[in-house]
Structure 1
């Protein structure tokens, strides 16, 4: 919700000009006169402080800023997307490096990563070792959400972006 022009009730406002320059504390009337003179709107950016900070912005720019802020808010509210990376306990060094780079890229773009190692027979400890190594190598770009879970045919861990 934008508070603009005559809707601003404060007697004095902390004014910011069109190019972001600080114009100091001026009366509401003076600020409105400046806005009319430059054919722009006086927009209040926060009602929480006294005097309220206001700026001279063209209406389209103000609406664009508000909608961008709403978009950001909606983006933050969405749950994390989790991407699954599958491995086997007998992974070659080159393949390991590739999977590691893939994980770092996914974490950098804000996705959670589920690392899943397929286990057959008595490979449980080896799979756990591999996941611990991966977690150590990913420490710079992510942190584990849960411990390593070993269940029947797989060992898994979820890594969240930092």
Structure 2
């Protein structure tokens, strides 16, 4: 008798063998069904149109769950993605309305670096004194930052005025969709470019 393994490389059921004829069985919602013979557990799973999936092979006895194998794999994958997303840090870059071009490019380059590493970026613009009378200039600058980083990110939180600040949050695009604008290309791309240049 066998119990399917969610990560089996061969995609075939993993066999316990005669020395492990029983397993602790969980229902689809996690309820304990007790320690059963694998033959009984398989019949129970089949009667429900579900699979018997091994979830804790090193336990004694091993633990199997009666569940749809496809749904189980999907839930595992979603959990892994959520963990990775939760690990992303929130970085911040600050601007002033009257920032000069060199400082602007430096800060936008930092933003691109943060996004390249998979971090979210909070863009904050602070008004001082009479600058509050011309909030449209601040909004234009924040929108320029958004546009300049659009090849690397998408807007998670639209620009919002709070007190003397305008804030906006950007989240990185998937790695295969990112297009650098301010950072130099990766080494392998740079090497390929130099080779192409020498041929021409």
Shorter-normalised TM-score: what interval?
0.5 to 0.7
| Per-residue deviation, 1:78 | 2.2
1:110–1:161: 8 Å Cα contact kept in structure 2?
yes
- TM-score by length of structure 2 reads 0.45
Moved over 3 A (4+): 1-4, 72-75
Task: Tell me the secondary structure at the aligned position of residue 85 of structure 1.
Answer: strand
1:122 to 129, 133, 137: 133
RMSD (Å), alpha carbons: 3.2
1:113–1:160: 8 Å Cα contact kept in structure 2?
yes
1:114–1:158: 8 Å Cα contact kept in structure 2?
yes
- TM-score by length of structure 1 reads 0.55
Task: Tell me the secondary structure at the aligned position of residue 171 of structure 2.
Answer: strand
Deviations 1:41-62 (A, max 9, x none): xxxxxxx69xxxxxxxxxxxxx
2:163 to 142, 148, 152: 152
1:1-162 superposed matches below 5 A: 8-9=14-15, 75-76=83-84, 78-120=86-128, 121-162=132-173
Q: Aligned residue pairs: how many?
A: 105
Unaligned runs of 5+ in 2: 16-68, 71-76, 174-200
